[in-house]
Structure 1
Amino acid sequence: MATAFEPYDMGGIKLANRIAMAPMTRSRAHGPGLSPTELNATYYAQRAGAGLIITEGVQPSVTGQGYTFTPGLHSDEQVAGWRTVTDAVHAEGSVIFAQLMHAGRIGHPSILPGDLTPVGPSAVKPAGQIFTHEGLQDLETPRELTEDEILATIADFAAAARNAVEAGFDGVEIHGANGYLVQQFLAANANRRTDRWGGDVAGRIRFAVEVAKATAAAIGPNRVGIRISPANPYNDIVEENTAELYEALLAELAPLGLAYLHVVEGPDAELTRRLREQWPTTFVLNPRTHPEPTGPESLALIEDGSADIVSYGALFLANPDLPARLAAGGPFNTPDMSKAFGGDHSGYTDYPTLAG
């Protein structure tokens, strides 16, 4: 029987354990041109007890930015900034993947330079507000991507993946969850296209599949993971025939030989089980434990074979030594969510460890 604290071979990438740090936006890219700084390197190095670290969402292009002070991987200065992070994490013995996240229609023109505006599969305004430099503002109607722009966006993901490797990352995770661009193409309410990028299930999964293919071709499939969140309504997402949609998506992705599938579990545990059975490589699970954060009890999912790796989000914010605390059964610091987004070291690198 496997346990969470044993080493794991993820398609040739050696992990010290089966505990992953889930991607979490922190909005602290205060270096030149939205690049990471030594503060970010300290934050990730503190959490290098994880077998696998997946970074906060990183925009693959200027137009991919959805939030204030989020980092990119599309410029030389960003690559240089990330190198300080990856060097620090590797020095502590962990593996780190960059999550490539194009926010799509979730953003605001005031966050983007010049006359750029958020884009999406269709010109459908999402409900909700977003925090900008001027405070909370309503989300706006995105500009519908043209065919040429869709192809260019796919190329942006591949280019960002190559930049990630140059920056020292062990791989990348395509963010196909939580209502951002890839899931916007999957969702019938956000994607109302009638061309080959929309319409039926085959059309709506095409963007995700082509992004995965291009990224895998750029850096090798064993360095590419993808995250999905079936039936997650976050960011005004409504999917139709969720089980059919994701089973069709996995049927196209499975032959690519990607490093892993990362599932943010929704209310349908049976669908999670079927996706686990369908997926041929590493299965990373962020289990549904709402309203509580994922805790020690979820390690049993590795022991019973439900997952190869379990990812932890909120607890990793407040517990930089989370794997050690999980092994000890606690205690656990409580995250201060008022300091989760933006700011300085407070609520970022100042949480105590068991030893400290």
Structure 2
Amino acid sequence: MATAFDGYDLGGTKLANRIAMAPMTRSRAHGPGLSPTSLMATYYAQRAGAGLIITEGVQPSVAGQGYTDTPGLHSDEQIAAWREVTDAVHAEGGVIFAQLMHAGRISHPDTLPGDLVPVGPSAVRPAGQIFTPGGLRDFETPKELTEDEIAATIADFATAARNAISAGFDGVEIHGANGYLVQQFLSANANRRTDGWGGSIEDRVRFGVQVATAVADAIGADRVGFRISPANTYNDIAEEDVEELYTALVAGLAPLNLVYLHLMETSDRELTRRLRDRWPTAFLLNPLTHPEPTGPESLALIEDGTADVITFGALFLANPDLPARLAAGGPFNTPDLAKAFGGDHQGYTDYPTL
């Protein structure tokens, strides 16, 4: 029987354990041109005891940015700065994937440079507000992507994946969850297209599958993961056909033999198990434990075969040595979520280790 503290072969990449750090936006890309900083290198290196680190969302293009001070992987300056991060993690024996995240309509003109505006599968304004350099703003109606712009966006993901490998990352994760661009294409309330990119479930999953195909072709499927969050209503997403939709998406992705599927659980454990059964390679799970953060009790999901790797979010913010603390049964620092986004080292690199 496998345990969380056993090593794991992730498509040829050796993980020291089956405990992963989930991707979490921290909004501290204060370097030139939204580049990572030395402080970010310290933050990730502190957490290199994870079997796998998945970075915060990284925009694959200028137009993909959603929030302030989030890093990119679309310029030489950013590639060079990320190299400091990956070198620091590797020096501590860690493995690190970059999460590629296009925010789509979850953005604002105040955040984007020049005359860029948020884009989406359809011109449907999401409910809610977003923090921008000018303060809290209502979301605006996005520009509907044209066929040519969809093709260019897919190409941007592939280019960013190549940039990630140039920056020393061990692989990438495509962000298909949490209401950002890939999930916007999946969801009928955000995607009201009537062409080959919307309408039927088959057409709504097409964008995600095409992004994954392009990225796998660019860097190899053994270095590409894909994250989903079925039935997640975050960022004004509504999915009424959840099981059919995600069964179709998994069926489209499975032949690519991506290195893993990463499921952020929002409701149905039985759906989680059914999708796991349909997935041919590694299955990563960020289990539903709301309102508490994922804790040590979730490690049993590896032992019973529900998942190959468990990903931890908030607990990794406050416990840079989380695998050691899990092995010791605690104690666990409490995350200071008031300092989770933006700022300096406080609530970032100043949490104590055992």
Residue matched to 2:198: 198
Tell me how far apart the structure 2 counterparts of residues 333 and 136 of structure 1 sit (CA, whole Å).
30
1:45 aligns with 2:25: no
Secondary structure at the aligned position of 1:111 is classed as: coil
Between the aligned partners of 1:96 and 1:267, the Cα distance in structure 2 is 28
Secondary structure in structure 2 of the residue aligned to 1:110: coil
Residue equivalent to 1:232: 232
Aligned residue in 1 for 2:121: 121
1:274 corresponding residue in structure 2? 274
Shift of 1:174: 0.1
SS of 1:109's partner is coil
Q: Cα deviation per residue 1:291-312 (whole Å; 9 max; x = unaligned)?
A: 0000000000000100000000
**Paired residue secondary structure (2:106):** coil
CA-based RMSD of the aligned residues comes to 0.4
Letter in 2 for 1:333: N
Deviations 1:221-275 (A, max 9, x none): 0000000000000000001210000001111110101000000012111100100
Distance 2:219 2:230 in 1: 27
* Partner secondary structure for residue 320 of structure 2: coil
* In structure 2, distance between residues paired with 1:290 and 1:215: 32
Indicate the residue corresponding to 1:349 in structure 2.
349
Q: What CA deviation, in whole Å up to 9, does each residue of 1:304-353 have, x standing for no partner?
A: 10000000000000000000111111111111111000011111000000
**Which residue pairs with 1:5 in the alignment?**
5
- Alpha-carbon deviations, 1:142-172, whole Å to 9, x = none? 0000000000000000000000000000000
Q: Which residue pairs with 1:24 in the alignment?
A: 24
Distance 1:183 1:26 in 2: 21
- In structure 2, distance between residues paired with 1:75 and 1:332: 38
Q: Give the letter aligned to residue 324 of structure 1.
A: A
CA distance in 1, matches of 2:248, 2:14: 30
Deviations 1:204-226 (A, max 9, x none): 00000000000000000000000
Q: Matches of 2:60 and 2:115 in 1, distance apart?
A: 19
Alignment-mate amino acid for residue 313 of structure 2: G
Please list, as runs of the form range in 1=range in 2, the aligned pairs for 1:261-300 lying within 5 A after superposition.
261-300=261-300
SS of structure 1 residue aligned to 2:172: strand
Aligned residue identity for 2:83: R
The worse-fitting range, judged by mean Cα deviation, of 130-139 and 22-31 is 130-139
Tell me how far apart the structure 2 counterparts of residues 336 and 83 of structure 1 sit (CA, whole Å): 28
**Offset at residue 50 of structure 1 (A):** 0.1
Q: Report the TM-score when normalising by structure 2.
A: 1.00
Secondary structure of 1:72's match?
coil
Q: Say which SS state the counterpart of residue 110 (structure 2) adopts.
A: helix
Q: 1:242 aligned to 2:227?
A: no
Alignment-derived partner of residue 318 in structure 2: 318
Task: Report the Cα distance in structure 2 between the residues aligned to 1:294 and 1:346, rounded to whole angstroms.
Answer: 23
Question: Would you say 1:81 and 2:85 are equivalent positions?
Answer: no
Letter in 1 for 2:23: P
Residue matched to 2:169: 169
Aligned equivalent of 1:155: 155
Letter of the structure 2 residue corresponding to residue 179 of structure 1: G
**Could you tell me how far 1:135 is from its partner in structure 2?**
1.3
Measured in 2, the distance between the counterparts of 1:329 and 1:137 equals 43
Kindly report structure 1 stretches of 4+ aligned residues shifted beyond 3 Å: none
Unaligned runs of 5+ in 2: none
Distance in 1 between the 2:140 and 2:327 partners? 46
- The amino acid of 2:286's aligned partner reads N
1:64 is matched with 64
Q: Which residue of 2 aligns with 1:99?
A: 99
- What is the CA deviation profile of residues 99-138 of structure 1, one whole-angstrom value per residue up to 9, with x for unaligned ones? 0000000011000000100000000000000011111111
**Inter-partner Cα distance in structure 1 for 2:217 and 2:12:** 17
Runs of 5+ consecutive residues of structure 1 not aligned to the other structure: none
AA of the residue aligned to 1:299: L
CA distance in 1, matches of 2:242, 2:306: 20
Q: Secondary structure at the match of 1:323?
A: helix
Query: Match for 1:317: what amino acid?
Result: L
SS of the residue corresponding to residue 345 of structure 1 reads coil
In 2, Cα distance between equivalents of 1:240 and 1:267: 13
Cα distance in 1 for residues equivalent to 2:202 and 2:17: 37
Aligned partner letter, 2:149: E
CA distance in 1, matches of 2:236, 2:334: 28
Provide the secondary structure at the position in 1 that maps to 2:216: helix
